[in-house]
Amino acid sequence: MILMKIVLLEGLGVSDEVIERHAAKLKEMGHSFFTCEKDPAPQAQLVNSRDADVIMLANMPLDVSVIREAKALKLIDVAFTGVDHIPVEEAQKKGITVVNASGYATEAVAELCVSFMIQLLRKVDQTQRRCRKGGTKDGLIGHLLYGKTVGIIGAGAIGRRTAELCRAFGCTVIAYNRSRIPEDIGMEQVAMEELLGRSDIISVHCPLTAETKGMIGGEELKLLKKQAILINTARGAVVDSRALAQALEKGEIAGAACDVFENEPPLLSDHPLLHSPNTIVTPHIAFASVESLEQRAEIAFDNLYSWLEAGQENQAVSQS
């Protein structure tokens, strides 16, 4: 067996004991394992990765110079579902395997989506601010989630789980997906235009690709009902932030919740969605629960062990 130098470029949000347990196992297998403080600067990434056979990271954007200059690199083990922050095409050209941690955040993201729906429908932000000022709920009576039509954009694992929770609340669920959705999972598959026009709530769960970038812009937002709300926990660039903020400012839709943006938070203070009305903004928290982060670490290390034990055969990138 070829001995490998494995470098973890950033923390995984789990206890030191978890990392130490896996480090000890890798050492027993004869490999070396190193951890680094997170540093997104390209030069720091390059220095940390230069002699590595394997690098592990979460959602820190990986600079393309690492792919070009890290001559020993054979595997990029991504402890995250999406890989749009990784230069995948460059890696594939050099025969470098890229694997991701699909599935760890399904429950966490789906639960937060439903929370966003209820908070917006019941005007939680407005009423709690009024309560703090000694006011009442007068004029701020909200709506039930029960009976609403929820449109799911992207019927992968997270989209399907969100749909299941919505059905438990008594919602009708429709979905847009590029591939055919099995008929037995309780979602009516419709065209995008129909979904936008029929839905009371739209929840975005598709990956960011060349086809989905800017998929929901000004023209698409005009198709929404005035009382509709939009939830985005997928990728920020799928939705045109400026167009969404303008629709909210004009009262063309009722509300939005965004956990993702064009760039990872912290956001610049003039970002349009930080100032739009009836908008919940969170700094990319949907995936982040204690339970999910622990599961994410286990999936990432399991991917590493599988690759090592398979004799370093190339594996396809998997996303869900």
Active-site amino acid positions: 235, 264, 284
Question: Coil, strand, or helix at residue 75?
Answer: strand
How many Cα neighbours within 13 Å face the side chain of 176?
A: 19
| Euclidean distance between CA atoms 71 and 49, whole angstroms | 9
User: In angstroms, rounded to a whole number, what is the distance separating the alpha carbons of residues 50 and 190?
Assistant: 48
Q: Report CA torsion sign: 207, 208, 210, 216.
A: positive
Tell me the two tokens of residue 221.
């937002």
Instruction: List all residues 6 or more positions away from 167 whose beta carbon is below 8 Å from its beta carbon.
Output: 173, 186
CB 132 within 8 A of CB 181: no
3-state class of 292 per DSSP?
helix
